[in-house]
Amino acid sequence: MKFIYHIFIIYLFIIAQTTFIEKYNIFGIKPNLLLILITSISLFNEKTISTIIGFFIGFVYDIVSSKVIGLNALFFMYMAITYSETSKIIKKNFLINTIYIFIFTFFYNIFNIAVLSMFNIKKFNIRFSISILIECLYNSLINIIFYILNKKIFCLTNNPKLNKKEALF
């Protein structure tokens, strides 16, 4: 049942990311909802499931919006692993959670641009570095909303005996 639920959530987020999120851009930069989704899923699921989901989301995202298939899959998978490994710390601290998403957004973009530059697919420029910073801030801001949703509505983040079946993600 949870598998179908996850598929449904991923489906919704990918649609959101590829459709109306365009309208909510800041200086032309839109947030990466899938990155935020992985953090939320990884916090409330087992490491193996988080890894597979991270890979799956990345892979679907690659197919939907990337020319290089596997790039997002690889990064999202390792991101999910990192989140799962450190979920106990992240759940308890709101600030760490926000810093994490900021750093992951930053590295996600650096990783992408590094690989693409390496193979001469895209070149790095100053404008891109500014857009990375905006995206980092935007993602952090949206992540706060998800964090509050998890904490206030589902009362989960600070509960040491977390019932994973009741988690939002």
Contact positions vs other proteins (CB under 8 A): 11, 14-15, 18-20, 23, 47-48, 51-52, 55, 58-60, 62-64, 67-71, 73-74, 77, 81, 115, 119, 121
Judged by beta carbon, residue 78 or residue 154, the one nearer other proteins is: 78
In the complex, minimum distance from the CB of residue 149 to other proteins, in angstroms, rounded to a whole number: 22
Judged by beta carbon, residue 67 or residue 127, the one nearer other proteins is: 67
Q: Give yes or no for a contact between 7 and 41, defined as CB atoms under 8 angstroms apart.
A: no
Q: Is 58 helix (H, G, I), strand (E, B) or coil?
A: helix
Judged by beta carbon, residue 47 or residue 151, the one nearer other proteins is: 47
In the complex, minimum distance from the CB of residue 7 to other proteins, in angstroms, rounded to a whole number: 10
Judged by beta carbon, residue 82 or residue 157, the one nearer other proteins is: 82
In the complex, minimum distance from the CB of residue 85 to other proteins, in angstroms, rounded to a whole number: 11
- Work out the widest C-alpha separation in the chain, in whole angstroms: 49
